[in-house]
C-alpha cells in the first residue's frame, strides 16, 4: 500500500463505500475496494450510524457567486433592487433578502472575508 493511509477518503470513495454497504458488503470487502483497513471504513460508517447520508444539493433558486457579484456591481452602479432582480431574472424579494442578509445596500459585498477562520 502506498502512503494513502495519511489522507482521508475522497468524496467518490465515500460514495462507493455507501453504495456497497447498502448492497450488503462487509467491512473487509469495503476496505479492499478502496485500499483501506476495515477499521477506517468502520469510522466512516459509524459517523452516520451506518445509515447512508442523503446527498445535499442546492436548490436552483439559490444565488450563485456570479449572481452575487452582479448584485454588488448593480448596487455600486446605483441600480434599483428591482432593476438588479430583472437583470438576474430573479424575484426582487430574493435580491432584497440577499442584500439585507449581508450588510445592507451600503455594505453589501459578494464575498464576505472572515478573519476568525
Give the per-residue pLDDT at 1.
Answer: 44
Burial of 93 (0-12, 13-18, 19+ CB in 10 A): exposed
Domain residue spans in the chain? 9-47, 65-107
Say what the pLDDT of residue 61 is.
67
Predicted confidence pLDDT, tens digits, the chain (117 residues):
444 444 678 888 888 998 898 899 999 999 898 888 888 888 888 887 877 777 777 777 689 999 999 999 999 999 999 999 999 999 999 999 999 999 999 999 887 644 444
The pTM is what? 0.50
* Rounded CA separation 102/100 (Å): 5
Say how many C-beta atoms besides its own lie within 10 A of residue 88's C-beta: 20
H or E element at residue 18: helix 11-22
Record the cell numbers describing residue 95, joined without a space: 435580491
Question: Any idea what DSSP says for residue 64?
Answer: P
Amino acid at each position: 500500500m502506498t502512503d494513502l493511509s495519511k489522507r482521508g477518503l475522497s468524496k467518490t470513495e465515500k460514495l462507493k463505500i455507501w453504495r456497497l454497504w447498502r448492497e450488503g458488503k462487509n467491512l473487509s470487502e469495503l476496505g479492499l475496494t478502496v485500499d483501506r483497513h476495515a477499521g477506517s471504513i468502520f469510522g466512516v460508517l459509524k459517523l452516520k450510524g451506518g445509515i447512508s447520508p442523503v446527498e445535499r444539493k442546492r436548490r436552483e433558486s439559490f444565488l450563485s457567486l456570479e449572481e452575487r457579484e452582479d448584485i454588488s456591481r448593480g448596487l455600486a452602479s446605483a441600480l434599483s433592487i428591482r432593476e438588479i432582480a430583472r437583470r438576474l431574472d430573479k424575484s426582487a424579494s430574493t435580491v432584497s433578502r440577499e442584500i439585507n442578509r449581508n450588510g445592507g445596500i451600503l455594505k453589501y459585498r459578494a464575498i464576505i472575508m472572515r478573519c476568525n477562520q
